[in-house]
Structure formats: C-alpha cells, structure tokens
Amino acid sequence: MSNVVVLDNGGGLMKAGMGGERDPSCVVPNCTARPPSSKKWLLADQLLSPAEDLTSATLRRPFDRGYLINPDLQSTLWAHLFTNLLKITPSSTSLLLTEPLFNLPSIQRSIDEIIFEEFNFKALFVADSPSLVHLYEASRRPYGLVSKAQCSLVVDCGFSFTHTAPVFQNFTLNYGVKRLDLGGKALTNYLKELVSYRSVNVMDESFIMDDVKEKLCFVSLDVPRDLQIARKHGKDNVLRCTYVLPDGVTYTKGYLKDPDESKRYFTLDDEVPSSHRGENDYMERQDPTDKNQDRRTVDLTKNVNSSLFSSP
C-alpha cells in the first residue's frame, strides 16, 4: 500500500485517496452542518447518511470564495478524514495537497502549520489543479496531442470560482491565468431563487438544491437545439424532469420521481444538426410507457417541483 495520501481540498468537496489508486476512496463535503433538531455538528461523510435530516440545517464552511478563512474548522475536518475515513498514520505518511492559484502567503503558512504541527506528516507537496490535470492527461495518452505539444489550456471550474490556466511542460504560467468569481455555488444559489420564486421557499436548503443540481443539471453541447426543446410542452420536452422535495415525515431526502426521465436527453442524436430534425423526432426516441408505478401510492402533489434545469 502506498504511503502517499492525495487530497484534493476544494471549497465544496474533499476528494482523498492513496497514491496509485485510480479513483479517490472518499468524496465528502468540505463543511459541517447542524440540523435544527440536534445540537451536534455533523462532519463530512456524516452529511451523506440517509438517516440524517438536513432540512434547514445550519451550514459552516472553512472556505469562502476559494480562500481558507477558518483553519480550525478545516483542521477538524481533516482530522476526521485522516482518522475515520482513510485510517492512516500521518507521521509515516506523505501528503500531496492541492491549493488554489494565487493563494495568499498567510493562508499557506496556516496550512503548513496544520500539516506539520498538528498532524505531523512526514512530507508535504503542494500543487495547483491545472498542472496536475495536464500531467494526468499527458501520462494517460503518451502519444496524444497534449503529450506532443507539452502545453494545454485548463479550465478549472470549482465551487467558488473558475480559473483558465495555460500549462506548459507541467508548469502553470501564472501571468496568463484568468479568474472568474463564478462557480458551482452560484448555480446552486440561482436554483434556490428559481424554485423559491415558483413554488416553495428553499433559500436555506443548500443540500437539497445541490442534489438537484448534481442529478439534473448538464452542460449543453448544442445550445440552440436545447433551447428549442425547452420551449416544447408535455412529453415533447425531453429536458423536463420531476424532483420530489422531502416532506420531513415519510422521507427526509429529495429524489427523482422517475430516474429514467433524467436520462432521456442522452437519447438524442447529437450528430444530426438541430435544423435537420423533424418536430416529431424527439417523440420517437422516448419510451411511451408510463413509468414510476411504485410511487403511485404516495401523494406527491405538494412536494413536486417540475422544472427544467440546464446550463449552457
């Protein structure tokens, strides 16, 4: 087993695993939350438990706009991650840690103190995400274009911001990096406003709207075509999905009324231009059978939010 821990410490999620593994062994929220009915703060994987009701939970994050603002909270989350999830001994382990571009020196010193003084890691290597992405792609395809050109443009869209970074020979060219203060959190907040204006107030339901975003949102590869589909009504609109909000009694987690409904978009033939499609082509690619038989016994009329969630 490798003695190197890889930690992608983002503002929204922490992705951690051992060096040499293809996928991270744990992906957990980088935050803590306290439900209204409890005095205990839940950490990381505890927030993903289906038994926990996080409706209107109080949320605390160690990061704000991509910068570490609460080192003590981050230290607590890392302690839970290293001890209970990864189950490692830091004193005999090295750490590969990612940090945002242009991180402030004061924040870098705080992180170094936590790593070496509190956890006593044997070694630390800090890297930025764009250079690691370029290195991964070049090593995955040694005869590909990235490996031959030894340069790439990486668009890193995170929780709080988006970076476009040119990378040359595994080094990020800082003078060419552009930052946009727009990330996944902005989309979540926008969905909160849409749903709160149209149906029920969900301005305090960050976890529910994050779940909606992750299950229903997508990046459009053909914006004119998708806008044309979005204007259709009924079954003609293959982008329309139904998400059932929790009622706090029968179920405490939101869910898709029909999971297959969210996959209908992938049945479209992307190779045919939108201008060459007939009006009935979308109907032919859908399953005409009525689904969701097992949910008919539950009254969903008060908790259903049927909307179109798409991002160009």
CA nearest 55: which of 73, 38, 74? 38
pLDDT category at 243 given cuts 50, 70, 90 is confident
Distances (CA, A) of 153 to 132, 137, 140, 212: 12, 12, 17, 30
Query: At residue 288, does pLDDT exceed 50?
Result: no
| 52-88 pLDDT tens trace | 888 888 889 999 888 899 999 999 999 999 999 999 9
For residue 220, the one-letter residue type is: S
**pLDDT (0 to 100) of residue 167:** 94
What confidence score (pLDDT) does residue 285 get? 40
Cβ pair 16, 81 in contact under 8 A: yes
Average pLDDT of the segment spanning 234-239: 82
Least confident among 92-96, 99-103, 183-187, 277-281: 277-281
pLDDT of residue 36: 85
Residue 235 has pLDDT above 70, yes or no: yes
20 CB neighbour count, 10 Å cutoff: 9
Nearest 5°: phi and psi at 31?
A: -165, 175
Percentage, residues of the chain above pLDDT 70 = 85
| pLDDT single digits (tens) 164-180 | 999 998 899 999 999 99
* pLDDT at residue 310, rounded to an integer: 41
- Average pLDDT over all residues of the chain: 82
pLDDT of res. 38: 83
pLDDT score recorded for residue 277: 44
- Give the model confidence (pLDDT) of 25-60 as tens digits: 999 999 999 988 888 899 988 888 888 888 888 889
> Position 156: which residue type?
D
pLDDT for 31 equals: 93
User: 126-154 pLDDT, tens per residue?
Assistant: 999 999 999 989 988 888 888 888 899 99
Of 157-171, 203-217, 254-268, the range with the lowest mean pLDDT is: 254-268
Residue 87: the pLDDT is 92
pLDDT (0 to 100) of residue 289: 42
* Contact status, residue 111 vs residue 97, Cβ threshold 8 Å: yes
The answer on pLDDT for 247 being more than 50 is yes
